[in-house]
Amino acid sequence: QVQLVESGGGSVQAGGSLRLSCAASGRTFSDLAMGWFRQAPRKEREFVAAINWSGGSTYYVDSAKGRFTISRDNAKNTVYLQMNSLKPEDTAIYYCAARDVLGLLQRDYTPRSRNEYDYWGQGTQVTVSS
């Protein structure tokens, strides 16, 4: 079983920045593709960003491009989401997710849908005020 623990959420003014962290345990970290999702009040959980096993490939939702950066440190078993130029519409609970890619024929990919992920964290609240 993989455990994911998010941290780094908080409240910021519009235009500010936050860096979310997600620490993984229970699996070799390089066997996991990682992603971030978010769920705003009265909205469905949506994809934000994904990163492949090595960190060499990333993918972002359009609204995050140019503002958010997903990265990983495999030595620390941690994935990050650097969020800059935050907007009120970024307010949501942010969830870390992991996909086990060890057994896949195509290991090097960035999953983008909820049903592609095997493990989920508890979430961390991000609030952006205007």
| Buried/exposed 57-87: b ≥16 CB within 10 Å, e otherwise | ebbbbeebeeebbbebeeeebbbbbebeebe
Q: 24 falls in which pLDDT band (50, 70, 90)?
A: very high
- Whole-angstrom CA distances from 93 to 15, 36, 48, 87, 105 are 18, 10, 12, 14, 33
The 3-state DSSP class for residue 90 equals helix
> Cβ distance 42 to 61 under 8 Å?
no
* Average pLDDT score over residue span 117-129: 98
Distance in angstroms (rounded) separating the CA atoms of residues 75 and 46: 28
pLDDT at 77: 97
Q: pLDDT at residue 85 above 90?
A: yes
Q: pLDDT at residue 31 above 90?
A: yes
Helix (H) / strand (E) element for 58: namely strand 58-60
Q: pLDDT at residue 103 above 90?
A: no
Q: pLDDT at residue 105 above 90?
A: no
